[in-house]
Amino acid sequence: MKKNLSLLLAFLAIAFFANAQKQQPFNPNNYDPIDPGKDQKVVQGYIVRLRPGINLTYLFDILQNGKLVHEASPNILNTTIEGYDSKEQAYDVAEWVIDEYKKAGRIPSTIPPHIATQLKLKPINATH
């Protein structure tokens, strides 16, 4: 049983890092500045509000009834203040966080590798 689990985890790690290498190189000219009036949306009754991370990245806050439910600092993928590469990624992660919050009643502290792969997030400690 332990051998099967180890093989599965090794396969998931290889798949995660192999897929991460397919991402386009970071281009600072593609950065879309955050507009506080526009860069927020309602997801399952919660407001997801984007804000800038370091190195031209995006973080998000989650609000419910005007109250902060989750402040996305640190980033739950790599526990740094560096955010996600695109607004779409930040919204996708926020939606996953909301799903988990509704299921478990708490905000997840990390993203499992298989979810990071599904969301096409860069691996931990990757640089632009």
Q: How far apart are CA 26 and CA 126, in angstroms?
A: 11
Q: How far apart are CA 9 and CA 119, in angstroms?
A: 18
The per-residue pLDDT for 125 is 45
* Residue range 23-64, pLDDT digits in tens: 445 556 678 899 878 999 999 999 999 999 888 989 999 999
What's this model's pTM, rounded to 2 decimal places? 0.70
Minimal CA–CA distance to 31: which of 78, 74, 90, 75? 90
* Residue range 66-93, pLDDT digits in tens: 999 988 766 677 666 678 889 999 999 9
Helix (H, G, I), strand (E, B) or coil at 21: coil
CA 106-107-111 angle, to 5 degrees, is 130
